[in-house]
Amino acid sequence: MAYPFRGVSLWRDAVIGAGVGGVNTVAVNGMYGEGKDVVKGAMVGAMFYGGGYVLGAVSFSVIKSKLPARIGGEPLNPYVPALFQNFGKPNPCPEFISGVIRDSFGGIPSVLPMPFADEGNSP
């Protein structure tokens, strides 16, 4: 549910990650009767979502510098004015690949078990 709100800024992603990590920890504690620390779950979520934002931004700049800016255009015709040239469409690959990297790194806490069980409170 937090996916549409991600990718705007580092701090916003960290806050969303903290919320998702805390809610996931509360849900796991309730469903399985575990005693995991909600604050630590929120901190791990913030770290991974924020780290995902940074990795996505870095990968976007690297990929954008390596791939062509536009794709599908025709070779430039010196006899046609620049306004009527077919330059193609902007290349969607850098944004897509960096988004996959960002979301994959940010989603790690959701699929891995969190080892923050408080042994005193677990049944």
- Structure token digits, residue 108: 């790690």
Question: What is the reported pLDDT for 116?
Answer: 55
**pLDDT digit string (tens) for 70-116?**
998 888 889 989 889 888 999 999 999 999 999 899 888 777 766 55
Phi-psi region of 105 (alpha: psi -120 to 50; beta: other; left: phi over 0): alpha
The pTM for the full model equals 0.76
Give the other-Cβ count within 10 Å of 50's Cβ: 22
Question: What is the reported pLDDT for 59?
Answer: 96
Neighbouring-strand partners of residue 117: 36
* Token pair 């800016």: residue: 69
**pLDDT digit string (tens) for 40-81?**
989 999 999 999 999 999 999 999 999 999 998 888 889 989
Average the pLDDT over 3-22 and give the result.
85
Question: What is the reported pLDDT for 114?
Answer: 61
H-helix segments, 33-92: 38-66
Contacts of 55 (CB under 8 A, 6+ apart): 101, 102, 105
